[in-house]
């Protein structure tokens, strides 16, 4: 009888645990109808190589002048006119690109899985120089003046000379045993370089020599397992005046005074992405895909948008006084800054992939070069009335705000 009771209790506990797990893991929310207040019209579309590839890259387009620059994981880099999508030039670097694309002056910069940083002449796509830094790069390089900064997956920050790629200095953050796939993008501010690392730290360094000026922890590892102790700063670092806003996974969203490196305020948060600032609020996409607004002075909650829960949202951008995000099904969502209402939506839909003839019998098969993932993990690119989206499979679309 005791054995029977024990088995019954175990069975009930297992059922309860399974029910709880099912309640917690309901998958992404389906999309409800919205009252549309803002709409987009597609201007043109273009397939960029094979897209993001299998390395979970987020190859970011860049706009400079009247052109847009895009890259694909298989080494293809292209310049297209922003207005029409006409090809200005196209080049194949014959290597796996994992970070793209930064444009500064007359050059564009990409980086690769084997640690090559490549500078291209943006007038024709020819290679200007190539430098190997011995580790994979996943975030877009950033440039200020004659200095180029980028982070590698081994936890290092490198600063190179823009003109030739020669190394100026590097900083090692001591990579933890477990981290998220990706790195934050460093930023320049005044005479310093600021970077967030998988250790949960944000560090300010002297831009000339790499000397540490200050450091703050965004998250402190806690828990028994490596997964529970995982803290990481993977998203955008945001500077407004002399204040740095930063968020981390299983950590905090914080405001740091860049004049002395001291924390002004912080509150618990967990996000893969960086914050936005507007209308006196900080906007953040949490790790469960809630979009929240908090007052950037008091840190009080302003609003919460939970209708996109579980939809694998991209890093948010500001567009036409709205917050714009994408999801795993290729939808673009436009959210009001004032109250978090979703007031605009469009979808990036790729046309059917061309079929190619293969095999000894001339049978038709779909091309195996392309990824069929139409989700969007690369953040949107906004400029004036234009909104640029590129899917994981490399389908690029340029939208324009309807007026």
pLDDT, position 56: 78
Sheet with strand 322-326: strands edge to edge: 317-319, 322-326, 331-336, 342-347
DSSP class per residue in 196-249 = E-TTSEEEEEETTT--EEEEEES----SSSTTTT--B--S--EEETTEEEEE-B
The pLDDT of 346-366, averaged and rounded, is 59
Q: Could you give phi then psi for residue 18, rounded to 5 degrees? A: -65, -40
Give the burial class of 220: count Cβ atoms within 10 A of its Cβ; 0-12 exposed, 13-18 middle, 19 or more buried. exposed
Domain limits, the chain: 59-137
Closest C-alpha to 256, from 243, 247, 239, 268: 243
The DSSP call for residue 174 is -
- C-alpha triplet 204, 206, 208: angle, nearest 5°: 150
The confidence score (pLDDT) of residue 3 equals: 38
244 contacts 274 by C-beta, under 8 angstroms: no
Residue 184 CA to residue 271 CA, distance in Å, equals 12
To the nearest whole number, what is the mean pLDDT of the chain? 86
- pLDDT digits 0-9 by tens, 86-121: 999 999 999 999 999 999 999 999 999 999 999 999
Contacts of 299 (CB under 8 A, 6+ apart): 265, 266, 267
pLDDT of residue 176: 55
> What is the pLDDT averaged over residues 385-402?
95
Task: Give the number of other CB atoms < 10 A from CB of residue 4.
Answer: 8
What's the CA dihedral at 82, 88, 93, 99 to 10 degrees? -10
Which residues, in sequence order, are CB contacts of 40 under 8 Å at separation 6+? 332, 344, 346, 387, 399, 400, 401, 402
Per residue in 166-225, pLDDT (tens digit) is 999 999 987 755 556 667 889 999 899 999 888 888 999 999 999 999 999 886 656 566
CATH architecture of structural domain 59-137: Beta Barrel (2.40)
């Amino acid at each position: 009888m005791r054995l029977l009771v024990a088995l019954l209790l175990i069975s009930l506990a297992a059922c309860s645990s399974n029910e709880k797990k099912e309640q917690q893991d309901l998958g992404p929310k389906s999309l409800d109808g919205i009252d549309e207040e803002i709409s987009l019209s597609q201007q043109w579309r273009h397939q960029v190589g094979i897209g993001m590839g299998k390395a979970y890259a987020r190859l970011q387009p860049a706009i400079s002048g009247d052109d847009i620059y895009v890259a694909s994981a298989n080494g293809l880099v292209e310049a297209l006119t922003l207005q029409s999508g006409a090809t200005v030039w196209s080049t194949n670097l014959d290597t796996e690109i994992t970070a793209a694309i930064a444009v500064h002056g007359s050059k564009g910069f990409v980086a690769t899985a084997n640690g090559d940083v490549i500078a291209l002449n943006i007038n024709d796509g020819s290679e200007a120089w190539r430098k190997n830094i011995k580790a994979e790069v996943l975030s877009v390089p950033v440039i200020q003046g004659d200095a180029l900064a980028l982070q590698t997956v081994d936890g290092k920050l490198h600063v190179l000379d823009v003109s030739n790629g020669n190394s100026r200095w590097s900083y090692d953050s001591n990579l933890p045993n477990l981290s998220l796939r990706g790195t934050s993008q460093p930023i320049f501010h005044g005479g310093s370089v600021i970077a967030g690392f998988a250790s949960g730290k944000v560090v300010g360094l002297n831009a000339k020599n790499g000397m540490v000026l200050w450091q703050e922890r965004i998250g402190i590892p806690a828990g028994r397992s490596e997964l529970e102790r995982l803290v990481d700063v993977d998203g955008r670092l945001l500077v407004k005046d002399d204040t740095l806003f930063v968020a981390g996974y299983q950590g905090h969203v914080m405001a740091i005074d860049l004049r002395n490196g001291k924390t002004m305020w912080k509150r618990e948060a967990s996000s893969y992405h960086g914050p936005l600032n507007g209308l006196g609020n900080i906007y953040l996409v949490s790790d469960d895909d809630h979009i929240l607004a908090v007052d950037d002075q008091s840190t009080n909650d302003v609003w919460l948008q939970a209708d996109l829960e579980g939809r694998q949202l991209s890093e948010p951008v500001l567009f036409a006084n709205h917050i714009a995000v994408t999801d795993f099904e290729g939808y673009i969502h436009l959210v009001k800054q004032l109250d978090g209402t979703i007031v605009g939506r469009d979808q990036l839909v790729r046309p059917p992939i061309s079929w190619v003839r293969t095999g000894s019998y001339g049978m038709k098969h779909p091309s195996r070069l392309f990824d069929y993932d139409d989700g969007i993990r690369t953040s949107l690119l906004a400029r004036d009335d234009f909104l640029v989206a590129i899917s994981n499979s490399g389908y690029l679309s340029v939208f324009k705000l309807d007026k």
